[in-house]
Amino acid sequence: GVRGEQDTLFRLFLGSLVLMVAGLVYILGSGQGRETWLVVSGTMPFYILASLILIGGILFWFQHENFTAVELVLFVCIALPCSYTTLGLSFLWFTDLGHAVIWNSKIKEMVWKEAWIDRADGKNDTDTHHGPEYNIRTAADERISTTRKAWLAFVGLNGGRKRVNSRRNMGADRENRRLGSDGDGIPEVHTITWDGREESEVPTSREHIEANYLQAADTSLKIKGVKQDYQDYLVDYPRVTSGTYGDIEFDRVIESKVKVGGTFHYVVDRGLDKALQTLGSKKQCNIVVFVAGTENVGLFQALREHWKEGKKNDICVCIGYTRAAIHWCKVMTYTDHTMFVENLERDVRHLETLEGKGDALVKVILSNINAAGDAGYLRKPMADYEFLASDVEMPWYTLTGSFLWACAWLSCTVMICIRD
């Protein structure tokens, strides 16, 4: 163990341990524990990495007298979770296994924690200054960092300062007046909640990294070799962007090589945003409308290839539209409810045109999603694709980086065990 005050090596050891635990908590907390374990345990690199680490630990135990049997047990207990965490994060972050799905909700409350100071505990320490924090809390229990400008806008939208609830920050010693604070000398946390009015609802969209076996696996189920003929129509999948209240906006209407007249884009985007405030959690879905200026339905297969079948909670309504007329409609989604897909495609085609029919399109989409039984939407669980877990592979350069990453994490543990 360490003697006296914690030295640099021991601090590095604790730091690496904290990072490993944080990585494991991230995987489990995001609900991806089962998915990543099936992929990691189904690939040879996990067993190679774990074996090399264990063999290395045993060799160090034989060669160094200071490496005790108790420390060997400690090393093994750290090494195995480290191997899983390293590979699990690598698969999620650096391969196609992890993809960003869109969760939709609305702002429940916004919180402003004033800048504050943690006073020095000893004569050798210095005061710690903390900046202000502004966070959105959604009805889906998400926490999203935002800005002071967004805080002021939301306060103004929901009745002004008289509705702000303030309490003392019990973890702070004093207010930091040089940064974001109200200058009254008391470190506080201010909260304002949505006032319940429909006109003050603020929809939110947030990207979450989740596992998708179908996107990551090398499988014949994927569409291949189609998109090269439709490059002019293909666009990247939309991302969450910044707006008045922070990084919570998602443009769910895409117009490729065509422009629908009037307020169509705005009406559909806002109508779906409003519905998804509750429908997003209820049905676990996200909705995208893709309108393309072509009569060739082959574009749909090209889009499936380009977007790799879309996100696992997507309902992507693709429409071929030229000369103010709907020529075809196809739906890209993960569901076994074929009646839902067929009915939605039929009902959209029956609109005949999109001019002045933004509200009608929204109504058609929502009514089919909420239909009873097989006529309604039910997301296909990713568990149905678990047979593809063993087909997910990691590029050699990512694999090499994972090995080095694990070695870096464990090096401090080894040095702590073998030192006197």
Could you tell me whether strands 314-322 and 286-292 are parallel, antiparallel, or unpaired per DSSP bridges? parallel
Give the residue among 231, 242, 143, 155 at the shortest CA–CA distance from 190. 155
Q: Which residue has the higher pLDDT, 293 or 213?
A: 293
Q: Please report which confidence band the pLDDT of residue 164 belongs to, taking 50, 70 and 90 as the band edges.
A: very high
Domain ranges of the chain: 8-94+396-418, 101-200, 222-371
Asked if 348 and 326 touch (Cβ cutoff 8 Å), the reply is yes
Q: Tell me what pLDDT residue 46 has.
A: 80
Average pLDDT over residues 305-312: 90
Q: Tell me what pLDDT residue 5 has.
A: 42
DSSP track, 58-115? HHHHHH-TTS-HHHHHHHHHHHHHHHHHHHHHHHHHHSTTEEEEEEEEEEEEEEEEPP
Rounded Cα distance between 120 and 391, Å, is: 54
For 397, residues 6+ apart whose C-beta sits below 8 A from its C-beta are none
pTM summary value:
0.83
pLDDT at 322 over 90: yes
pLDDT at 4 over 60: no
Q: Tell me what pLDDT residue 401 has.
A: 83
Q: Tell me what pLDDT residue 219 has.
A: 67
Asked if 266 and 198 touch (Cβ cutoff 8 Å), the reply is no
Asked if 320 and 289 touch (Cβ cutoff 8 Å), the reply is no
By CB atoms closer than 10 A (0-12, 13-18, 19+), residue 14 is middle
**252-270 pLDDT per residue, tens:** 999 999 999 999 999 999 9
Rounded Cα distance between 109 and 115, Å, is: 19
Rounded Cα distance between 154 and 47, Å, is: 51
Q: Tell me what pLDDT residue 221 has.
A: 58
Average pLDDT over residues 119-137: 82
Does the domain at residues 222-371 carry the CATH identifier 3.10.310? yes
Per-chain mean pLDDT for the chain: 88
CA distances from 128 to 1, 117, 176, 193, 326 (A): 29, 6, 10, 30, 62
Counting every residue written for the chain, the total comes to: 420
Question: Lowest mean pLDDT: which of 88-92, 206-210, 224-228?
Answer: 224-228
Average pLDDT over residues 24-34: 87
Any idea what the Cα angle at residue 156 is, between residues 113 and 249, rounded to 5°? 80
Could you tell me whether strands 286-292 and 253-256 are parallel, antiparallel, or unpaired per DSSP bridges? parallel
Asked if 311 and 214 touch (Cβ cutoff 8 Å), the reply is no
Q: Tell me what pLDDT residue 220 has.
A: 55
pLDDT at 3 over 50: no
Report H helices in 209-331. Answer: 213-216, 264-283, 298-306
**370-403 pLDDT per residue, tens:** 999 999 999 998 888 888 888 888 887 878 888 8
Most trustworthy range by pLDDT among 30-44, 60-74, 211-225? 30-44
Q: Which residue has the higher pLDDT, 411 or 231?
A: 231
- Total Cβ atoms within 10 A of residue 275: 20
Could you tell me whether strands 128-130 and 241-243 are parallel, antiparallel, or unpaired per DSSP bridges? unpaired
Q: Tell me what pLDDT residue 2 has.
A: 44
Q: Is 386 helix (H, G, I), strand (E, B) or coil?
A: helix
Rounded Cα distance between 221 and 217, Å, is: 9
Most trustworthy range by pLDDT among 40-49, 83-92, 198-207? 198-207
Asked if 109 and 193 touch (Cβ cutoff 8 Å), the reply is yes
Asked if 214 and 221 touch (Cβ cutoff 8 Å), the reply is yes
